Structure 1
Amino acid sequence: MIRQIERDEIKVCVEVIRKSFETIAQQFNLTKENCPGNASFMKAEKLYKQYDEGRLMFAYLDNGIIVGYFSLIKNDAGNFELNNLAVLVEYRHKGYGREMIIFAIDKVREIGSNKITIGLIEENTKLRNWYSSLGFIHTGKRKYKHLPFTVGFMKWVQ
């Protein structure tokens, strides 16, 4: 089941994000020193701020337990950015991520938009291929001096 989160669930959602992104941080040797902004090091204050600013935040529940998370934010062009799509390791490969993407697409359509963008680690070809299988198109990449990886960009357009 996917539903919008309540403010009092933010600490649980932050733990889901941190634990989920931890595997990627390990795979790509990301640390607090070389990549402090990585979601595996997220602090609850960041999510509280996003929630209070009106960001759309959703949880995936398995038997009443939050095991997945993602958020959507509308940009100035009226399109949406998908952020922090996360599924706890022990709940992966059950189709929950796919369900969250379909839910996000439906939510964006319901709001009246037809485009979702994402940013990800370009070198994570497994994740890029997964998003491609869900209809996302690779639109480019950029190397930032402050990040130890290249950022890849993808979009879904109806």
Structure 2
Amino acid sequence: MTLEKISINEIMDEASLVCSLNVIKDSFTTVAREFKLTEENCPSNPAFINLENLMTMKNKGIAMFGLFEKNNQIGFVAVEKADDSCYLERLAVLPDYRHKGYGKLLMDFVFNYAKAQGAKKVSIGIIDENSVLKDWYEIYGFRETGLKKYEHLPFTVCFMEKAVESK
């Protein structure tokens, strides 16, 4: 990974949302397959997101950012500010770019963004059964704050958070 070719830019227009949509769908499809999630049993999974969903998020004031290698978008993250927290949503890195430090770059960006927004913590909800992802977040410093089984979801949701450090 050469950092001079990497940038993180805010997603502002519809064309950028369309590119982001493809990154999100392609990234989350691997997880959907692994956990046998379908549009029928888990329609809210990001693997099944559409442009209207993304536009609704944008219109709600959720900040969206793309990770680019040169001019090619390879990652995405959305951050929703609420009171003294930021909620991390749709963190995605295309499968061919995983395990190369890009997810950590996005996380570092999110924590700098959260700090600039005055947030005290960053929270996330993930599939509890996804031990690889859960371990990754724990290595980054997130701690489990609760588990919840929703009737409409075929998995348990693990809530995690990490304090935003003031430096």
Q: Structures share a fold, TM > 0.5?
A: yes
- Deviations along 1:123-153, one digit per CA (max 9) or x if unpaired, are 0011010001111111111000000000000
**Corresponding residue for residue 132 of structure 1:** 138
| Distance of 1:150 and 1:115 partners within structure 2 | 22
- Identity, in percent, stands at 39
Aligned equivalent of 2:30, options 23, 27, 41: 23
**Alpha carbons 1:5, 1:57 under 8 Å: kept:** yes
How much has 1:78 moved relative to structure 2?
2.5
| Distance of 1:34 and 1:53 partners within structure 2 | 26
**Unaligned stretches of 5+ residues in structure 2:** 1-6
Q: Residues 1-158 of structure 1: matches in 2 within 5 Å?
A: 1-8=7-14, 9-75=16-82, 77-157=83-163, 158=165
- Deviations along 1:18-41, one digit per CA (max 9) or x if unpaired, are 010000000000001111111000
| Structure 1 stretches of at least 4 aligned residues deviating more than 6 Å after TM superposition | none
| Distance of 1:100 and 1:68 partners within structure 2 | 8
| Distance of 1:37 and 1:114 partners within structure 2 | 28
- One-letter amino acid matched to 1:37: S
TM norm structure 2: 0.91
- Deviations along 1:29-67, one digit per CA (max 9) or x if unpaired, are 000111111100001101111112221100000111111
**Alpha carbons 1:7, 1:51 under 8 Å: kept:** no
TM norm structure 1: 0.96
| Distance of 2:140 and 2:85 partners within structure 1 | 18
| Distance of 1:96 and 1:86 partners within structure 2 | 9
- One-letter amino acid matched to 2:33: Q
- One-letter amino acid matched to 2:81: K
The DSSP-based 3-state class of the residue aligned with 1:123 is coil
| Distance of 2:117 and 2:81 partners within structure 1 | 10
**Unaligned stretches of 5+ residues in structure 1:** none
- One-letter amino acid matched to 1:41: F
